[in-house]
Structure 1
């Protein structure tokens, strides 16, 4: 796969909060093999949302672009086979 249309985020470090620059995205939990089902999350107008699988709180930050995150490094990158 050449990439994702919708950003995917992971939380290997176990952060309580990850700020993201998008309102719609996929949460993967942690990197495989410790991931959970990749679930679509849509914050709508709320500005934040908790993943029902891993309990990560995601918060929209308008100063971030696309897949950028605070803390950095939470964008999921699929490893080539």
Structure 2
């Protein structure tokens, strides 16, 4: 599997908002197999965005440096077990 340079986030915990340290990222919704199409979100000049698929509210926080809060909302494809 190829590595990706764009951060990927999900909202499996169902929190009201996910703070992210990137203005350009991918939202996957929930963890596979319950994810939605992985979509690119670009906040542009804004400091927040809402995913049109899952309605997760993302808020930019420059102190997170590409990470997220809560930290378990970071999606790392290699950490998801493949279906047998």
| 1:75 aligned partner | 74
**Which has more helix, going by share of residues?**
2
Unaligned runs of 5+ in 1: none
- C-alpha distance in 2 between matches for 1:3 and 1:65: 18
Give me the TM-score of the superposition, normalised by structure 2: 0.88
Unaligned runs of 5+ in 2: none
Following TM superposition, the consecutive aligned residue runs of length 4 or more in structure 1 with deviations greater than 3 angstroms are none
Give me the TM-score of the superposition, normalised by structure 1: 0.91
User: 1:1-81 maps to which residues of 2 (within 5 A)?
Assistant: 1-66=1-66, 68-78=67-77, 79=80, 81=82
Aligned length, in residue pairs? 80
